[in-house]
Structures are given as structure tokens and as C-alpha cells.
Amino acid sequence: MLVADDDPELLDVVASDLEHEEGADVVRVGDGASLIQEIADGGPFDLIVTDIAMPWMSGLQAAHAARSARIATPLLVMTARHGGDIERQVDALGGNARLLRKPFELRELHAAVASLLAGRST
């Protein structure tokens, strides 16, 4: 799995939880440029978890770039932002993309991950 967030504490919480609770191998990145680089060079990944607001390139920009390159990896997009057209932008990423609003509980993270990974096998 690939996890991207510019908040080092949240990055550590999410990545560590996925490692311990899901048994995942997790690659961690802290900005949008590193996210797109890992998608291009480090994959394939079973799941990409990304924050929206990050330096250099937003998580949504990186996700749309991946979709343009026909990378269909399931995406979990995290954000504390409300309003605007965030839901529409995430919906435009396809059925294997979900939005997770911050703050969230780890059970919500697990439910979203399970849903995305279950959809991948169908």
C-alpha cells in the first residue's frame, strides 16, 4: 500500500495501523510529487491512501494523473476540507475511490480499506 500525507503524525498513524492491523507493506510519502513518483516507479500497489492538501501536487491531482495513465489502483482520499466540489472530484476517479473525512476513527479507515479491497477482487 502507498500512503501519502504531509502531516507526519497522521502519516505515521495511518501507515502504522495499516501495517499492524491489515498486515500491509506500506510505502510512506509526505508530498504530492513523491506520491506521483511512487505511483509511477514503486507500484503496483493494492491501495493508495492520500491526503488532498499536500505540497507540490495535491493528492487529487496525483490521483487524476494516475487515472489518466490508466492506473486503476483503488484510492482512499482523506481530507479535512468541506464544501466545494470534493465529492464530485473523488467520484470522477471511479467506483474504486472513496472519500474519508478527517477527523476519522481507525474503524472508519478499516471499513473504507476493506470496501475498496473487496471491490478490487470483483
Residue-wise pLDDT tens digits, 54-84? 877 888 888 888 888 888 899 999 998 877 7
Q: What is the pLDDT of residue 102?
A: 92
Does residue 112 carry a pLDDT above 90?
yes
Domain ranges of the chain: 2-120
pLDDT tens digits for 15-53?
Answer: 999 999 989 999 999 998 899 899 989 879 999 999 988
CA–CA dist 37, 88 (Å, integer)? 25
Closest by Cα among 15, 16, 10, 50 to 31: 50
Architecture of domain 2-120: 3-Layer(aba) Sandwich (3.40)
For residue 49, the 8-state DSSP code is E
Q: How far is CA 2 from CA 26, 29, 76, 94, in A?
A: 6, 8, 10, 18
Q: What share of the chain is helix, strand, coil (3-state, %, to 5)?
A: 45, 15, 40
CB neighbours of residue 9 within 10 Å: 8
Q: Which cell is 20 given?
A: 499492524
3-class SS of residue 34: helix
Q: What is the pLDDT of residue 55?
A: 77
